Structure 1
Amino acid sequence: MKKVLLISILFFCGAELFAQSFYSNRINRRWMATGGLGYARSLGDLTNPGSYFDTKLNIVGGLQYRFTDRIQAGVNLMAFQLSGDDQDIDPELNTRSRGLSFVSNNLELSATGSVSLFPTAMRFTQRKMFNPYVVAGVGVLFYDPRAEVPEFLRNQAGDTIMAVPRGGEMVSLRQYQTERPNSYGRFAFVIPVGVGVRVKVTEFIDVTAQVSNRITFSDYLDDVSGRGYPDDDLFDLNVDKDITAAALSDPTGRGEIRGNPDNNDHYFIVNVKAEFYIQGEFLNKVFGIGGKRYNIRPQRGRGGLFNFGNRRR
């Protein structure tokens, strides 16, 4: 019983000390830990112009630093999924279905900077309730488009030529070079640009709503780029992998226009995030970065030895 009582006392004392430290207004609060959810939408060769709700979940987290009263910058890591297909395409908005589709799990690491419309007060707790901002940056994207292997390889008349190895399985498209002889890697550079609004919820927490577009330097996020299909002689139909590649490249066997190489793919991101103003001392202890406490020095004069003067936040 005594041990339980002792542990309880230590726990509550520790919690009280933590609370006093966290809510202390003497600590530099230029650092913010961020985290949130949202959705991502692919905008490429397999985007159905008539569909606006083919969206996937994204999860993002990061660390921000406020350099001036309007400018802050940081790093962000986002995990998200993209998908697209033209199997249910509207003939009035596009020419035809090619039987192509993709889905990919992606990771994006970015460094971004934002400029707020209104300045942040010297005391961060007195910041504006609403503060719009613009954001831009650079990043790198890891992507890996996948698709389901067709059951059969077909000719231009739509007739079945042969069964396809691994038919019905989900496979990584990159390894099959569906637009031979062209190929692509796993990474692409991206430029995030967008706008948002920051809302003060408590003294130490903001919530942001942000809309942004990712300009990319790749046209293969959905595995589709070139206008023409690869020549048949680039696929050896005596090799299982080439049979699978031919079926993935042209599932319907029509062999007409495959994609549009004139425009790179990009994607659209909507996020709602929480920003937590954290202690610079915590970061300093853990990572060797962060701020210092504001000094509160005893002053002699009116009020005596224990006159601490004005406390800064």
Structure 2
Amino acid sequence: MKKLLLAFAMILPFYGFCQDLDFGITGGIGLYSGDLSPKEFAIYPNDYGYAAGIFLRQRYSRFIGIRTGLTLAKVMGDERNNGVKVDRGLNFQSNITEFSLMGEIHLFHIGYARNKTVISPYVAFGLGFFAFNPKINFGGQIIELRPLGTEGQGLEGYPNRYSRSQFNLPFGAGVNILINDRLTIGAEMIFRATLSDYLDDVSDAQLVYGDILTNKGELAARISNPLLDPANTENLTVSYARGGEHNDWYIIPALTLSWRIKNSGKSRSVYSKYMECPRF
């Protein structure tokens, strides 16, 4: 968290030299897609958390901008909610703190000159860095998953302990409605392709139940594979993988509100006098 705030603070002096600068807030929901989903990549509205953030946007022209953002979100997944592996019933939840830098390309503008109400769809893409901490609701208790080593992390022949901070690749699309010279409202959906398969603490690692039970303890074994009884010695040699090979995703659909705090007029000039076809 401190590293993310420091990175955001280091960007601020750069914006002091900008001519067109917006400050904005976002609010929406956090969605998850990964190993606990019916498919590796899709949108599952049954499992959702919150998402909120702030951003600074530099506009170089009516078509090009760069946005720096700090986002707080919560994502979650539960196999029982999505009708997949209901008998296993793994679940997770994680708070996310994300710092991102994205470019915005505005495709065209439709609007009026008098009140300068303009509709402007855009695409966005960039690079992000986020911190996460997966937890499970197990028997009514919220338990941190990484310290348990549910996939034998740290044991010989098993994966290393995963980092709780990682990069992601955000991309998506949205639309802005420029109400006047300074006020803009909008809506967007930004997908985050993470470079981690442990957002949910589940990966494609091949495990032996006895290794988890003996070296990580009964709680780790029960969470690792709830279908197996640790008291049954026949289960000690059972081999299994908990998830798939692809990295995890999270998606944030959000509403945005921004205010022009430095205005040269460059990025909001030359709008048509009447509603017309898109201006490219």
Whether contact under 8 Å (1:131, 1:199) holds in the other structure is: yes
The alpha carbon displacement at 1:56 in A equals: 1.2
1:259–1:101 distance in 2 versus 1, CA, 3 Å: same
Question: 1:169 aligned to 2:141?
Answer: yes
1:249–1:95 distance in 2 versus 1, CA, 3 Å: closer
Q: What secondary structure sits across from 2:217 in the alignment?
A: helix
Letter in 2 for 1:75: T
Gaps of 5+ in 1: 1-27, 151-167, 281-290, 292-313
CA–CA distance in 2 between the matches of 1:89 and 1:271?
A: 23
The alpha carbon displacement at 1:120 in A equals: 10
CA–CA distance in 2 between the matches of 1:220 and 1:35?
A: 29
State the Cα RMSD in Å: 2.9
Question: 1:190 aligned to 2:173?
Answer: no
Give the share of equivalent positions with the same residue, in percent: 27
The alpha carbon displacement at 1:68 in A equals: 2.3
Question: 1:45 aligned to 2:35?
Answer: yes
1:67–1:119 distance in 2 versus 1, CA, 3 Å: farther
Letter in 2 for 1:115: I
Question: 1:98 aligned to 2:88?
Answer: yes
How many equivalent pairs are there?
230
1:78–1:174 distance in 2 versus 1, CA, 3 Å: same
Match of 2:53 among 38, 54, 60: 60
User: Paired residue for 1:165?
Assistant: none
User: Paired residue for 2:224?
Assistant: 249
| TM-score, normalization by structure 2 | 0.73
The alpha carbon displacement at 1:96 in A equals: 5.1
Gaps of 5+ in 2: 1-17, 153-157, 230-237, 265-280
Match of 1:132 among 121, 132, 135: 121
Matches within 5 A, 1:1-313: 30-48=20-38, 51-90=44-83, 94=84, 97-118=87-108, 129-150=118-139, 168-180=140-152, 181-182=158-159, 183-226=161-204, 228-236=206-214, 242-253=217-228, 257-279=240-262
Letter in 2 for 1:144: N
CA–CA distance in 1 between the matches of 2:162 and 2:52?
A: 26
Letter in 2 for 1:211: M
CA offsets 1:229-276 (integer angstroms, 9 cap, x no match):
444134337xxx622211221223176754333211111110101010
User: Paired residue for 2:233?
Assistant: none
1:111–1:120 distance in 2 versus 1, CA, 3 Å: farther
Whether contact under 8 Å (1:207, 1:272) holds in the other structure is: yes
CA–CA distance in 2 between the matches of 1:223 and 1:41?
A: 16
| TM-score, normalization by structure 1 | 0.66
CA offsets 1:198-227 (integer angstroms, 9 cap, x no match):
102233100111012111111110011125
Whether contact under 8 Å (2:206, 2:241) holds in the other structure is: yes
Q: What secondary structure sits across from 2:214 in the alignment?
A: coil
The alpha carbon displacement at 1:128 in A equals: 5.8
Letter in 2 for 1:251: P
Whether contact under 8 Å (1:76, 1:109) holds in the other structure is: yes
Larger Rg: 1
Letter in 1 for 2:213: F
CA offsets 1:134-164 (integer angstroms, 9 cap, x no match):
00010111010001345xxxxxxxxxxxxxx
CA–CA distance in 2 between the matches of 1:41 and 1:192?
A: 14
